[in-house]
Amino acid sequence: PAAEQKDHAIMETVDFRDRNTDLVADRQEYGDDPIAVRDSDQYRAEYVQTFVEKWDDLIDWSARAESEGRFFIDVLKARGKAKILDVACGTGFHSVQLMRAGFDVTSVDGSAAMLAKAFDNAKDQRMILRTCQADWRFLNRDLQGKFDAIICLGNSFTHLFNERDRRRALAEFYAALKHDGVLILDQRNYDAILDSGFSSAHKYYYCGERVTAEPEHVDPGLVRFRYAFPDGSEYRLNMFPLRKNYMRRLLSEAGFQHIRSYGDFQETYQEDDPDFFIHVASKS
Ligand code: SAM
């Protein structure tokens, strides 16, 4: 029992430090070999405070709202969904949009820095966000209740670097949904990036040309994106390149019965064309 107790104490210390890494870090750390970093826990160290602040200063919410239109609102309303869980709320863009449209929203993120920013952003717009810090892999340990719909948007699922974590997260999402719940999850079009090769991988521009995102390393297990800001600062994100059909298979094997995939918000598209795929997966 003494040994068990000691182990427990160590676990708690590690957990405490982990959860607070992103509150103190002000620069991204990838060590000596950044492309060797392929870890589902890395996201906490990637979304450092300065990156979070810069991102929101430059990406203007109204431009993003305009490019997405009413897509998510329409999908949710058409299916009669009201109680929404935003599992990757980030700085709160979709949570705020959906609250404004009258949905009952709960906002989750594993990063404390992101949640704090989301709360402040909502407050600036006179809304109080209901937030919960949780990692998807332990979602139902840290969150109560069942939801009509879960959204996991902004290419977030890409942060999971091994299949066990992906299956675990999808099982947690499935369990947090009501019997006829729906999961909306999006991803970059990695098939195009992997198949067209690094040399032809194009630059992505956010809101004009203020921020560029470009893959600086591509292999079947890692796409490392570089984000360049007009003041010369740069940040990176390591991502797992999810192929579209692999993602659809994981959703189906998690128990989702119907999966409809859209390309850049359209139901019909050329396989190579879209930058993003959006999967709408329903339990029944
Ligand atoms: N959805 C937001 C948007 O579109 O602006 C944020 C997208 S950002 C690319 C990905 C978010 O997923 C980050 O806020 C990160 O903290 C969160 N995240 C990544 N892995 C996670 C995990 N395992 N559990 C909980 N949140 C996670």
Give the DSSP H or E segment for 219.
strand 211-219
Region 107-131: what's the mean pLDDT?
95
pLDDT in tens, 250-280: 999 999 999 999 998 888 877 768 889 999 9
Q: Indicate if ligand 1 lies below 6 Å from the C-beta of 158.
A: no
**What pLDDT sits at residue 128?**
96
9 has pLDDT over 60: no
Predicted ipTM beyond 0.95: yes
Q: Does residue 16 register a pLDDT over 70?
A: no
188 neighbors 275 (Cβ within 8 angstroms): yes
What's the pLDDT band for 120 if we cut at 50, 70, 90?
very high
Query: Which ligand 1 atom minimizes the distance to the CA of 111?
Result: 16
Cβ(29)–Cβ(90) under 8 Å?
no
Q: Which ligand 1 atom is the nearest neighbour of the CA of 86? A: 1
Share of the chain above pLDDT 90, in %: 63
- Please give the distance, rounded to the nearest whole angstrom, from the Cα atom of residue 265 to the centre of ligand 1: 20
With a 6 Å cutoff on the Cβ, whether 93 touches ligand 1 is: yes
Taking residues 176-203, report their average pLDDT. 88
pTM for this one? 0.89
What pLDDT sits at residue 22? 44
Whether the CB of 114 sits within 6 Å of ligand 1: yes
Mutation probe of ligand 1 site: the residue of 156, 184, 223 with most atoms within 8 A of C-beta: 156
The better pLDDT of the pair 139, 213 is held by: 139
CA angle (277, 267, 92) in 5-degree steps: 45
Question: Would you say the CB of residue 261 lies under 6 angstroms from ligand 1?
Answer: no
d(CA 187, CA 206): 16
Query: Of 40, 89, 111, 173, which is best to mutate to test ligand 1, by the most ligand atoms within 8 angstroms of its C-beta?
Result: 111
Contact 250, 166 (CB under 8 A): yes
Task: Note the residue count of the chain.
Answer: 284
CB of 265 sitting under 6 A from ligand 1: no
